[in-house]
Amino acid sequence: MQYIRFLKTPRFVYTNDRRSGTVFALVTIASDLGESFFLQDVALTIKLLNGESWTSLPLSVTRYTWKAGMRTLKIELDLVKQKEMFHRTAVLSVSPEQTAADDLSQSGAAGPLVSSAYSSPFGLSGGIEAEGYVERRLIIGWKKALLVWEETGESIARHIWCNTLTSEIKNEGKRLDVLDKTLGLSEDLEVLELGSGCGIVGLALASLYKNCLVTPTDLPLAEEIIVKNIECSGLQGNINFKPLDWDQNIPENLTARPLGLIVVADCTYNASSAPSLVRVLAELSRRSPGAVISLAHKKRHDSEDVFFQLMDKSFRKIEQIQRALGTDSNGEASNVDIYIFQLP
């Protein structure tokens, strides 16, 4: 999956006569880790939306083409002054015309998947850039909408990774019996997510399964963006962030009530952190022996195998399936593997 990202967030600049103006922005299309740029042509639709209403007609629309080999794309969208327009706030959306990756309830999509981007609201009074956030408007299981903010900076801890959200959402295709049974329980289910980033997996679980009481955890640097997403979701009663450093002792309050499900999504790409992650999983499972571990993994390098070697020493693998994520920018199949582990 590829992501449209704002390198320069939108700003509106008047012409000299102040009767019209132009919205400027700079975007790229890159992989989740940002280590490679999209290597195919893709037609993009650029819309200037009313920042106060999703359902209003766009204020302006234009089209661009991202060409293979590009690293950045400069966007300019002209506006002719209309009554009251320049007193509004606006949102700039950048979306692929085809094969959008925004419907995560579908599996096995063909072709490269490119995730749309929506800017923060910004004023049309001129000169002020939109804040450094981008919103993903996603469709998850049962056609529910999930709105998630991420930062436009370089920290991957504050970016969303849709690749592995398919591990927990209501997704068509292959199923995991143990995970389905766990999520289908009628009583409250304590869920702890490790390395939650922007909190997208935890938010999806809390939205889809009302019995899930979700605790997303990550380093303190991710707290601001996770809390922002929780507050915007309206799910505060079902989801509550707590900081956790894998190299420190696990706070007792994380397991004050027995865990039923431990979620790990795309946290195995850094082989140097594998021993710490396995240690945390082992300790959490020791405190909650009946807990099920759901782990989603997109393989990027052979060095990641060390994590699974360590897991085999402490856990038994109950289930494993693979789901397709379309193709990458080279036209090669992209997949995510989903594992279910438990203590022996």
What is the pLDDT at residue 104?
A: 75
Residue indicated by tokens 């036209």: 331
How many Cα neighbours within 13 Å face the side chain of 265?
27
What is the pLDDT at residue 61?
A: 93
Residue 293 CB partners (closer than 8 Å, separation 6+): 261, 262, 263, 264, 281, 285, 315, 339, 340, 341, 342
- Higher confidence at residue 282 or residue 55? 282
User: What SS3 state is found at 19?
Assistant: coil
Q: Give 329's pLDDT tier (boundaries 50, 70, 90).
A: low
> Residue ranges of the domains in the chain?
2-131, 157-342
Q: pLDDT for 264-287, tens place per residue?
A: 998 988 899 999 999 999 999 999
Kindly report the backbone phi and psi dihedral angles of residue 2, in degrees, each rounded to the nearest multiple of 5, phi listed first: -115, 155
What is the pLDDT at residue 53?
A: 78
How would you list the strands of the sheet with 242-243, edge to edge?
242-243, 212-218, 189-194, 261-265, 292-297, 333-342, 316-327
What is the pLDDT at residue 35?
A: 78
How would you list the strands of the sheet with 114-115, edge to edge?
73-80, 20-31, 2-14, 114-115
- Higher confidence at residue 242 or residue 210? 242
Beta strands 133-140; 212-218: pairing state? unpaired
Q: pLDDT for 11-27, tens place per residue?
A: 998 887 777 889 999 99
Q: Give 237's pLDDT tier (boundaries 50, 70, 90).
A: confident
What is the pLDDT at residue 327?
A: 66
What is the pLDDT at residue 165?
A: 59
What is the pLDDT at residue 163?
A: 54
CATH T-level fold of 2-131 = Immunoglobulin-like (2.60.40)
What is the pLDDT at residue 23?
A: 93
Q: Give 251's pLDDT tier (boundaries 50, 70, 90).
A: very high
What is the pLDDT at residue 100?
A: 65
262 with 192: CB under 8 angstroms? yes
- Higher confidence at residue 263 or residue 1? 263
What is the pLDDT at residue 84?
A: 57
What is the pLDDT at residue 83?
A: 52
In the numeric block, which tokens belong to residue 218?
A: 């990550």
Q: pLDDT for 115-166, tens place per residue?
A: 999 999 998 877 788 999 999 998 887 778 889 999 886 655 556 665 555 5
Helix, strand, coil percent values for the chain (each to nearest 5) = 25, 40, 40
Least confident of 105-109, 222-226, 239-243: 105-109
Least confident of 30-44, 243-257, 296-310: 30-44
- Higher confidence at residue 166 or residue 187? 187
Which of 47-56, 92-101, 117-126, 214-223 is the most confident on average? 214-223
What is the pLDDT at residue 171?
A: 52
What is the pLDDT at residue 305?
A: 94
Least confident of 41-50, 132-141, 308-317: 132-141
H or E segment to which residue 337 belongs? strand 333-342
Q: Could you please report the per-residue DSSP string of 196-254? A: -TT-HHHHHHHHH-TTEEEEEEE-GGGHHHHHHHHHHHT-TTTB--EE--TTSPPPGGG
What is the pLDDT at residue 106?
A: 67
Above pLDDT 90, what percent of the chain?
A: 56
- Superfamily of structural domain 157-342: Vaccinia Virus protein VP39 (3.40.50.150)
